[in-house]
Amino acid sequence: MKITTLLFFLFLNLQFLHAEKIGDIASVIGVRENQLIGYGLVVGLNGTGDGSSSAFTLRSLSNLLQTVNVKIDPADIKSKNIAAVIVTTKLPPFARQGDKLDVTVSSIGDSKSLQGGTLLLTPLKGVDGKIYSLAQGSLTIGGMNGKEKGQINHATSANIFSGALVEQEIEYDLHGQEFVNLSLKDSNFNTALSVQKELNNNFGKKIAVATDSRTIKLMKPENLSMVEFLARTLDTNVKYEKEEKIVIDERTGTIVSGVNIKVSPVVVTHGDITIKIEATPNLDEDTKSLDIGSDVKIATNENQIKMKEESMTVANVTRALSKLGAKPKDIISILENIKRSGAITAKLEVI
């Protein structure tokens, strides 16, 4: 069986992936990470840095040397031991001065490898242009990518673990607030109402109001601090309505589907393939059958797929199509058209 076919059989029962705690399905508005970015230089490369065609690297090195009273024309620089890089990291909520952050370093020139390099002091800025962190340190590149020891590892991105220090904090006075808002990760009116009901029951008073399908406004009880209140809130169990979804990656031929997503009876014509999918109480014993599971049998007869009504699912239909010889791209096209016909009610997402 080919790798693409094996990838195609990646079925997950999504009902086991849904969360029950409010902290797993919602976040506190305002309490979030912030992206930081900076431009820097990596030095110490063993001839694998940017060449003379990367004029911005040479200009950057020239400007850097001028800060230590060494004036040199960029055209006179011939070194291949330096590389221009973009440095990125995430500033966690409530990060304090002196906290250490992991950073990612990515080459933007024609460097062959960043292996063995050291990042020089690089300021990392937010979208407001302010410097929030400073990064510096030796680069780490995992593995040799199958190369023998001593050969070049052609990696143009690397990491520095704990390579940045927080210099400026983002102020957010959570403790002094009386009100806070939750934002559901998936917009759903029933889930919002369920969160509202559970929290009001849990605290014994009306402290939660769902203002729309995603937002729940909370009022802190007088006998609790905001930190204590949010700790109890986010740890509260809640029943919520999960969304059935089929995810298709057309590039790799991968399908991820809940195993219980139903398919209504339908006739599909795709190229020279015509398939009738229908439910039947009993499978004909004289009909050739295909086993696709311990308790499921799908009978095929001249491209007819018959199965018991409770087995009419996307997972079983897809497995049957594959056993009939349909290629991944054909099965994906068939599923997309079954969805368009209304025989599949679950959401279908193509990436």
In order along its 351 residues, the chain shows pLDDT tens digits of 444 443 444 444 444 435 579 999 999 999 999 999 999 999 999 999 998 778 888 888 888 888 888 888 888 888 889 999 999 999 999 999 999 999 999 999 999 999 999 999 999 999 999 999 999 999 998 754 444 444 556 689 999 999 999 999 998 888 889 999 999 988 889 899 999 999 999 999 999 999 999 999 999 999 999 999 999 999 999 987 777 788 888 777 788 877 778 888 888 777 766 777 776 666 555 455 555 554 455 555 556 666 666 777 888 788 777 777 778 888 888 888 888 888 888 888 787
Cα of 18 vs its chain's centroid, Å: 16
Cα angle 171, 175, 178 (rounded to 5 degrees) comes to 115
The closest alpha carbon to 320, from 276, 269, 350, belongs to: 276
How many helices (H) and strands (E) the chain has is answered by 7, 18
Residue 316: φ, ψ to 5° = -70, -40
What DSSP character marks residue 60?
Answer: H
> Residue 281: what pLDDT?
63
Which residues have C-beta within 8 Å of that of residue 161, sequence separation ≥ 6? 102, 140
User: Could you give the CA distance from residue 294 to residue 220 in angstroms, rounded to a whole number?
Assistant: 52
> Residue 58: what pLDDT?
85
The model carries a pTM of 0.69
3-state secondary structure 275-323: EEEEECCCCCCCCCEEECCCCCEEEECCCEEEECHHHCEHHHHHHHHHH
